[in-house]
């Protein structure tokens, strides 16, 4: 029997898996992950009858064909996620915990399932997905001080930041390497204590890239929407999603799109719904062939330059308030 652990390479995916493997250690499990935007992960798993697959924080709808193949072959699949799933397959062998509520995330769903055993890691994952309210509430519930909560928030943001990039080479750390380093630690505080160099590199990289992004002026700024275009640099790919979260937090009434240049001559787009109305980002992005995501945060992997005006028009229409 082989156990495969398939997880999104962002903070939420990482912290969800850390919790699951602290609860049920399996040193032989095969990790399968990638950059945050690489969500077609299940097709890389060649599981056979009797194998077990754990899937965390990637859309079921985007992995439907390989999932159905596995279930037909007699693979047992545990699927925990908060992205758009569509209809769940009805074949046996699927244990699914899926909740697309815009105020939850995979780390929080895992925390529920494990009855709060590793809640500190869930707090990190939730902050990483910019679920600031539920993360702060959970932190208070488990007795963390304000300073401790701030430390976990910063770690979550930095781990999430590390997941962005067009390819693994753009990242400071391969998410599989981070998982290897992190998952032995029962709490994120123990990780910070035990791996000061990794922690420092994540924080420094995040701060440098954010400072560069903060110096970029909006390409378009209206009361309901703003569009930022970052330069064609590796750092811009890394910071794009976290920069979008920061804009959303700073201007909660406004929707934001962050454009970065991709290697196919087009744009990669990160969309953040207004923080006060986390809706429609996924619907907007799914109008474009490589778009997907959640109600509050979504993206388009490749927007051809000639489609940019159409995107901006659809973006404006989606979030028009007057
Ligand atoms: Mn997530």
Q: How many angstroms separate the CA atoms of 205 and 56, rounded?
A: 26
Domain assignment present for 30: yes
CATH code (residue 37): 3.90.1640
Domain count of the fold of the chain: 2
Report pLDDT digits (tens) over 182-201.
Answer: 999 999 999 999 999 999 99
Which of 143, 171, 203 lies at the terminal end of a domain, its last residue?
A: 203
In this prediction, residues 190-214 reach a mean pLDDT of: 97
Q: 219 with 244: CB under 8 angstroms?
A: no
Start-to-end CA span in the chain (Å): 58
The residue among 36 and 211 whose pLDDT is bigger is: 211
Residues 229 and 275 in one domain: yes
**Distance from residue 189's CA to the centre of ligand 1 (Å):** 21
The residue among 165 and 256 whose pLDDT is bigger is: 256
With 0.85 as the threshold, say if the pTM is over it: yes
How much of the chain exceeds pLDDT 90, in percent? Answer: 91
**Distance from residue 196's CA to the centre of ligand 1 (Å):** 25
Which of 153, 178, 203 lies at the terminal end of a domain, its last residue?
A: 203
Q: How many angstroms separate the CA atoms of 201 and 148, rounded?
A: 20
**Distance from residue 75's CA to the centre of ligand 1 (Å):** 24
**Distance from residue 205's CA to the centre of ligand 1 (Å):** 22
What is the secondary structure of 155-166 as a DSSP string?
Answer: HHHHHHHHH-SS
Quick one: 95 exposed, middle or buried, by C-beta within 10 A (0-12, 13-18, 19+)?
Answer: exposed
> Containing domain of residue 245, as a range?
217-318
Which of 169, 203, 237 lies at the terminal end of a domain, its last residue?
A: 203
Give pLDDT, residue 91.
82
Q: How many angstroms separate the CA atoms of 83 and 86, rounded?
A: 9
Helix %, strand %, coil % of the chain (to 5): 45, 15, 35
Domain assignment present for 51: yes
Q: How many angstroms separate the CA atoms of 64 and 11, rounded?
A: 23
What is the token pair recorded at 203? 């924080």
Quick one: 234 exposed, middle or buried, by C-beta within 10 A (0-12, 13-18, 19+)?
Answer: middle
**Distance from residue 12's CA to the centre of ligand 1 (Å):** 5
């Amino acid at each position: 029997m082989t156990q495969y652990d398939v997880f999104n390479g962002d903070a939420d995916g990482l912290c969800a898996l850390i919790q699951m493997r602290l609860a049920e250690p399996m040193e032989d499990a095969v990790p399968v992950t990638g950059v945050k935007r690489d969500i077609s992960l299940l097709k890389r798993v060649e599981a056979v009858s009797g194998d077990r697959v754990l899937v965390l924080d990637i859309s079921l709808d985007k992995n439907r064909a390989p999932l159905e193949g596995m279930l037909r072959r007699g693979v047992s699949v545990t699927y925990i996620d908060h992205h758009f799933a569509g209809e769940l397959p009805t074949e046996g062998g699927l244990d699914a915990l899926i909740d697309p509520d815009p105020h939850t995330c995979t780390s929080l769903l895992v925390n529920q399932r494990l009855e709060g055993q590793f809640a500190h890691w869930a707090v990190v994952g939730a902050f990483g997905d910019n679920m600031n309210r539920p993360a702060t509430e959970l932190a208070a519930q488990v007795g963390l001080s304000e300073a401790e909560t701030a430390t976990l928030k910063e770690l979550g943001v930095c781990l999430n930041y590390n997941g962005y990039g067009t390819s693994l080479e753009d990242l400071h750390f391969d998410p599989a390497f981070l998982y290897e380093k992190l998952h032995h630690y029962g709490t994120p505080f123990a990780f910070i204590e035990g791996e000061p160099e990794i922690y420092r590199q994540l924080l420094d990289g995040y701060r440098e890239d954010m400072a560069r992004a903060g110096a970029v002026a909006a390409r378009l700024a209206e009361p309901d929407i703003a569009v930022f275009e970052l330069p064609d640099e590796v750092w811009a790919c890394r910071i794009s999603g976290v920069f979008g979260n920061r804009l959303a937090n700073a201007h909660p009434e406004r929707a934001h799109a962050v454009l970065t240049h991709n290697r196919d001559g087009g744009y990669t787009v990160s969309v953040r719904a207004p923080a006060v109305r986390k809706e429609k980002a996924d619907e907007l992005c799914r109008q474009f062939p490589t778009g997907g995501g959640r109600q509050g945060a979504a993206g388009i992997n490749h927007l051809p330059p000639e489609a940019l005006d159409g995107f901006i028009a659809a973006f404006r229409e989606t979030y028009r308030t007057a």
